[in-house]
Chain A
Amino acid sequence: MELSLQPQSDRLGITVNAPRIDAQAAVKFKDAVHTACGNDHSWIILDFANVDFVDSSGLGAIVSIKKHIGKGRRVDLASLGPAVEKVFRLTRMDSVFRIYPTLDDAMADDAAD
């Protein structure tokens, strides 16, 4: 899965360049993000501007990234489209992540907490 990386001081923006994080893509997505994260950043922002669709497998992969890859560091989300936002809202997983309108908003956020 193709990712674009935007490192900036303490944080790393990861833009997912795939339209779907679904049952077919979930494992590849998780592995790609794992490889991209490295150890240099304490705050990971997953940018879903190019993602139209997330199913429960995709949601599980995103939570898994926070739980395992994000251990000891922050993982947040940016640019959820309407269908993706709906899945987060219905499952109440929107309470687990900070959700920024855009990646730029997350990159410009000075308040760490």
Chain B
Amino acid sequence: MTRQTDTRYIHTRLQTFADVRHALDDLCHRLSNDINDATKVAEIEIVLAEILNNIVEHGGTSAYQYPVEISWDIGTEIAFMICDTGRPYPQLRLPAPDLPNCDDLPEGGFGWGMIQMICHAVSYQRVNGANLLRFSFETETLKP
């Protein structure tokens, strides 16, 4: 049986890490309404946290002049799109997903590696002064 695709979204201004916390709280609450698997929601939260933290950390002042748009299609998988008006990504492309070497006791640089390991079909475009990031999660535990 094919499930009909539903689209959900939130618009949120992200200026501080506290704003990210509030947005994640809202997103996880919304996701739990559709996904019958706390582990899956927790995985999605990790990815969203990294992406939203990056917007606050690297997006600059232009990132919070307009709300960040987070939308997701729920069908046979969950396909996210996040649109922010922050600074463009370096070289207009996705950062390398390489993880730092554990032996060096790295204190950062884990984010993109984790994102690429948890979700799939990650793509980036710069469109009309906005960053457009897409990524998907497989899930077999959608609520009917």
Interface of A toward B, CB cutoff 8 Å: 20, 22-24, 53, 55-57, 59-61, 63-64, 66-67, 82-83, 86-87, 90-93, 95-96
Contacts and interface: CB of A to CB of B under 8 A. Distances in A.
A63 B20 contact: no
Main secondary structure of the interface of A (DSSP, over half): helix
User: Do most interface residues of chain B lie in helix, strand or loop, or is the interface mixed?
Assistant: helix
B102 A93 contact: yes
Given A23-B56, A24-B21, A83-B42, A55 B50 contact: yes
B43 interface: yes
Given A63-B105, A86-B46, 20 more contacts: A22-B17, A22-B20, A23-B17, A23-B57, A56-B108, A56-B110, A57-B108, A60-B108, A61-B107, A63-B107, A67-B107, A82-B42, A83-B39, A86-B42, A87-B110, A90-B113, A91-B114, A93-B102, A93-B110, A96-B102
Interface of B: 16-18, 20-21, 39, 42-43, 45-46, 49-50, 53, 56-57, 99, 102, 105-111, 113-114, 117-118
Contacts of A55: 46, 49-50, 53
Contact of A64 (B16, B42, B43, B107): B107
Contacts of A91: 99, 102, 110, 113-114
A83 B46 contact: yes
